[in-house]
Every structure is written in C-alpha cells, then in structure tokens.
Amino acid sequence: MNPDQTYFDLENALENPHIVRTLALDSFDLKSFTEKIVKLQNLERLIFNGKNLKIFPKTITKLRDLKELNLGRNQISSLPEEIEELQNLKELDLSDNRLTSLPVEIGNLKNLEILTLYRNRISVLPQRFFFASKLKNSLFISK
C-alpha cells in the first residue's frame, strides 16, 4: 500500500482503488485507461501531462471528487461539454495543447480557482466563463 496515496501506474492503483487520491501516470494504454479510470472514484488529482493525448477522455468527467486535473503538454484540440460535471475541480492545467476554444460549459465549474491555458490557440473565451465565481486572478493565457 502506498502511504501517501499517490500512484504512478494505473494497474497498481486499481489494486486498492478506494484509497487512491493522486494518479500521476508515467505510461498508459489509452483504451485501458478510459475503461478503468472510473474505478478510482476517490481520485482527487490526475496528472496526465506530456502523453501526446489528442482527445480529452470523457470518462475523466465521471471522477466527481477530482480537484486537480493536469493535462498539459498534450495535443488536445477540444474539450467535451461534459467538463461541467467536474464540479469539485479547483485547478485545471491545459497548457501546451492545441485548444482553439473552450466550451461554454466550462463557466459552470463554480469551484474552479486556477485555469492554466498557456501556449494554446484560443482567441475567444465564452462569456459565461467570466461568471465562474472563484476564478478571479488565476487565469493564465498566452499563445
């Protein structure tokens, strides 16, 4: 058992899925990941950066306790509307991707405090986005 509840391998994390709080994947098989990640219902932090991920796995939105999601340094070009289901999310790092826009639903993330969008291709933000109550001075955007 990992005492700090941080795991670097999905298969090891699945041995005791109820105690896993942080998953920082070193390597992964996307098909296996999307099928199995939902078993980690107490997951609070998912670090999945630099994996050449092209599509945002919608199954991530089933992780209701997720507070921090780092998908930086991938090749994601869009986010699903279901992103709004991550109501406990406080920190979202999407830096170094290929995003050109954000879904309107991202404005429904009422607990989002930090959003990092460095090095994307976003030119316009949804108006509702600015009503995200806790997202005040922690929006980081550059091209």
SS (H, E, C) 25-62: CCCCCHHHHHHHHHHCCCCCEEECCCCCCCCCCHHHHH
Catalogue all structural domains in the chain, each as residue range(s) with its CATH number. 6-141 (3.80.10.10)
Q: Is the pLDDT of residue 132 over 70?
A: no
CB distance 46 to 70 below 8 Å: yes
Helix (H, G, I), strand (E, B) or coil at 100: coil
pTM: 0.89
Percent of the chain exceeding pLDDT 70 equals 84
Whether 112 and 138 have beta carbons less than 8 Å apart is answered as no
42 alpha carbon, distance to own chain's centre = 15
Residue 19's nearest CA partner among 6, 33, 32, 28 is 6
Partners of 86 in the beta sheet? Answer: none
Instruction: Express each pLDDT in 53-107 by its tens digit.
Output: 899 999 999 999 999 999 999 999 999 999 999 999 999 999 999 999 999 998 8
User: Sorting pLDDT into bands at 50, 70 and 90, what band is 123?
Assistant: confident
Give yes or no for residue 32 having a pLDDT over 90: no
First to last CA, the chain: 42
Closest listed residue to residue 106, CA positions, set 83, 122, 86, 87:
83
* CA distance linking residue 118 with residue 87, whole number of Å: 23
The pLDDT of residue 50: 86
How far is 131 from 109, CA to CA, in rounded Å?
A: 9
Residue position matching structure tokens 């991550």? 86
